[in-house]
Amino acid sequence: MEFKQIIYSEKEQVAWITLNRPKAFNALSMRLSEELVAAIEMVRQSIALKFLVIKGAGNNFCVGDDITEMEKWGDANGIMRRVRNYQNMANQLEELDKISISAVDGFAVGGGLEITMACDFVIATERAKWGMPEIDVGITPGWGGTTRLARLIGRRRAKEVNFIGAIYPAQRAVEWNLWNRVVPNDQLDAEVNKLLEVLLTKNQQGLRQLKFIINKGVECDLYTAQGFEAMSGALTGAVSGAWKIEDADKGAGVIAFMTKNDLWKKRRGLSTNFWTD
């Protein structure tokens, strides 16, 4: 896709996406949303990329959906299809096997805030503002404003944010565990680069595993989450060299299937009709 409303670039192991409708405060037009989906897919498919930074042009992050285009969404079915498309975009962003960072300046409201909630880190300027003002437009959030928000800051505060529609200062987002850090207005890029410098030194496979087990673990019961931890521990040992297990197949089963050798004949001969009477 030719990008007209975002700026996409790659530098070494980092992808940079800049939402680029500064005159509209980077509102998510239908075109911009399509480009963002395409860009996230490019990042998802890449093996070389390890990190993604999302920012906005013109001293604002994003003010959410372009309300002036909503009449183009169609009937109730069309609206639901678009909302589900946005949900898929946020899910793909959250599920990337890369570490994602939202670099927030100015407004991050509505869909803009929902983008930050799908990222792993959020760094914001002191002048940044956030909120979910959909209630005063007569609509409700569709891709994180009630779901991820409640998981991040709790049910009661999520109700406060959505029911009232206030616009909050950046520091409140840090206090409520919604964002990570607030920096001086002229230090946003520098702080993002400092974080990238630290993360680039890490065991990248370890980061991928940690992201996976944390994201999955918070959505399930304790014992299931501990299962993810245990399997991750075993995988860490395996990729660090301790992969040889005496009674493991070591690929013999796959080779047996391909060659139909004696092992395959024995296994399938014993199994195929066992207890089928």
Per the annotation, the verdict on 114 as an active-site residue is: yes
> What is the number of other CB atoms lying within 10 angstroms of the CB of residue 255?
13
Active-site entry in 114, 126, 197, 219: 114
In 3D, which of 166, 62, 66 has the Cα closest to residue 124? Answer: 62
Put residue 46 in one of left, alpha, beta given phi > 0 → left and psi -120 to 50 → alpha.
beta
In 3D, which of 125, 108, 128, 106 has the Cα closest to residue 184? Answer: 125
Q: Can you tell me which residue has the tokens 């195929």?
A: 272
Helices (H), the chain: 30-45, 76-95, 111-117, 147-153, 155-164, 170-175, 188-200, 204-217, 222-239, 252-259, 262-271
| 3 state SS of 51 | strand
Active-site entry in 134, 160, 175, 219: 134
Which is it for strands 107-109 and 129-131: parallel, antiparallel or unpaired?
A: parallel
Which is it for strands 14-19 and 6-11: parallel, antiparallel or unpaired?
A: antiparallel
And the tokens for 261?
Answer: 């050798």
The CA distance from 193 to 28, in Å, is 26
Q: What phi and psi, each to the nearest 5 degrees, are found at residue 273?
A: -110, 15
Per the annotation, the verdict on 134 as an active-site residue is: yes
Residues serving a catalytic function are 114, 134
